[in-house]
Chains A and B, each alone.
Chain A
Amino acid sequence: MKKIIWKSNRMFKMGEGSVVTGLESENFLLKRKKGVEIPQMKAKNIVQWKKSDNKKKK
């Protein structure tokens, strides 16, 4: 894991992206469990990631 020290607000503004997440240890993202399918009735509510999505962006 890369570590960077930000000394001030201004320094951070100069960095790319200008984003920070997760000041607390309990911050979490949500992801699908491996090997678990989304129930059909709920699957219509989401556009699921496909391997082909990667190729389209090349």
Chain B
Amino acid sequence: MSWYEKSNIVNSQVEDIILSYDLDRETIVEAKLIGEVEELISENADKFKLILEDRKLELTVYHIIPFWRDGESIEDNCGTVQVGDELLCIDPEELTVSKKKVIEIEVGRTDNTPVRHPKSSNGYYFVNGILLHD
């Protein structure tokens, strides 16, 4: 039996304990959702679908994401991520992380698109197994 479960962002609530990561200590940590998971409607904002070999994630441009380019650690909005950059991904079953390359990026614009916005106690969390800054 698996010890973890996937929790759809729609159903996540303040006080939920979620998987996160401490970049300074390079350690997987548990963090608490401390902010309301708001549902918002985004209109005509840049959006980017980051596609990795085994997972993907679509974000509006303002989302901050840690990534690595040529070995250098960068934290910037997702619009600056390029194909070939690496994102930190988790294997929740084994509790290990690895850097995986972005193999494709689809660019678009939001059109009255529902978006959701959790805040965690340490500022980071994994969405679809990819580390993001909140």
CB contacts between A and B, total, < 8 Å: 177
Contacts of A4 in B (CB 8 A): 38, 40-41
Contacts of B133 in A (CB 8 A): 19
Question: A-side interface residues toward B, CB under 8 Å?
Answer: 1-9, 12-13, 17-33, 36-39, 42-43, 45-49, 53-54, 57
State which of A12, A22, A37, A46 has its C-beta within 8 Å of the C-beta of B9. A22
A32 touches B17 (CB 8 A): yes
Q: Which of B117-134 contact A (CB under 8 A)?
A: 117-119, 121, 125-129, 132-134
A32 touches B128 (CB 8 A): no
A19 touches B30 (CB 8 A): no
B116 touches A47 (CB 8 A): no
Contacts of A33 in B (CB 8 A): 2-5
Q: What's the minimum C-beta distance from A25 to chain B, rounded to whole angstroms?
A: 7
A25 touches B118 (CB 8 A): no
Chain B interface size range:
35 or more
B63 touches A31 (CB 8 A): no
A1 touches B2 (CB 8 A): no
With the chains together, A33 CA to B16 CA distance in Å? 11
Q: Is the interface of A mostly helix, strand, loop or mixed?
A: loop
Given contact pairs A21-B59, A29-B12, enumerate 10 new A-B contacts (beta carbons under 8 Å). Answer: A3-B38, A5-B43, A9-B62, A23-B47, A23-B58, A29-B127, A30-B90, A31-B7, A38-B3, A46-B29
Q: What's the minimum C-beta distance from A28 to chain B, rounded to whole angstroms?
A: 4
B43 touches A21 (CB 8 A): no
Q: Does B113 sit within 8 A of A, measured CB to CB? A: yes
A45 touches B28 (CB 8 A): yes
